[in-house]
């Protein structure tokens, strides 16, 4: 996979309501290619990308040194159902997930927990996009 973004992910990023200065949460970031693309397109703001896999987070960090140094991108190894905002951290404007079992219906029980977490970490008018489409919380 590496550092190149697929056409499918590019199309998903292009559809997102990204704007400079936003706080975006990417759930299940894998090696971080989509997180880097979102950060690049926004220019300012922050993408916090999470994945439950230590290997994915290690790959994402290795490929994102510049974006992390610029404060545009942060990676955390955590599952969505365990996520909480850090002390003093602002809620997110947008949460994005692509092929995440907890949010695409494959794991309904985990999905209930994930939705409860998202209700807490998103702004009241925050949006959730799953597989390139807006989804109600």
> Per-residue pLDDT tens for 78-135?
999 999 999 999 999 999 999 999 999 999 999 999 999 999 999 999 999 999 999 9
> For residue 6, which of 130, 132, 137, 126 has the smallest C-alpha distance?
132
The answer to whether position 50 is within a domain reads yes
Residue 92 is part of a domain; what is its CATH number?
3.40.50.150
What domain range includes position 33? 7-135
Say if residues 10 and 37 touch (Cβ distance below 8 Å).
yes
Say if residues 121 and 83 touch (Cβ distance below 8 Å).
yes
Q: How many domains does the chain have?
A: 1
The answer to whether position 2 is within a domain reads no
The answer to whether position 1 is within a domain reads no
> For residue 46, which of 86, 77, 85, 19 has the smallest C-alpha distance?
19
Q: Which residue has the tokens 């973004």?
A: 5
Entry pTM: 0.95
> Per-residue pLDDT tens for 69-92?
999 999 999 999 999 999 999 999
């Amino acid at each position: 996979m590496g550092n190149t973004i697929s056409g499918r992910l590019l199309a998903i990023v292009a559809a997102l309501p990204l704007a400079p200065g936003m706080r975006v949460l990417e759930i299940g970031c894998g090696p971080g290619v989509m997180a880097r693309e979102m950060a690049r397109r926004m220019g300012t703001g922050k993408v916090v990308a999470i994945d439950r896999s230590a290997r994915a987070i290690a790959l994402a960090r290795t490929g994102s040194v510049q974006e992390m140094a610029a404060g545009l991108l942060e990676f955390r190894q955590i599952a969505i159902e365990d996520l909480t905002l850090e002390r003093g951290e602002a809620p997110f404007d947008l949460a994005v997930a692509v092929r995440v079992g907890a949010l695409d219906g494959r794991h309904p029980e985990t999905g209930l927990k994930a939705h409860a977490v998202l209700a807490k970490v998103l702004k009241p008018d925050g949006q959730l996009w799953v597989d390139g489409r807006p989804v109600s919380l």
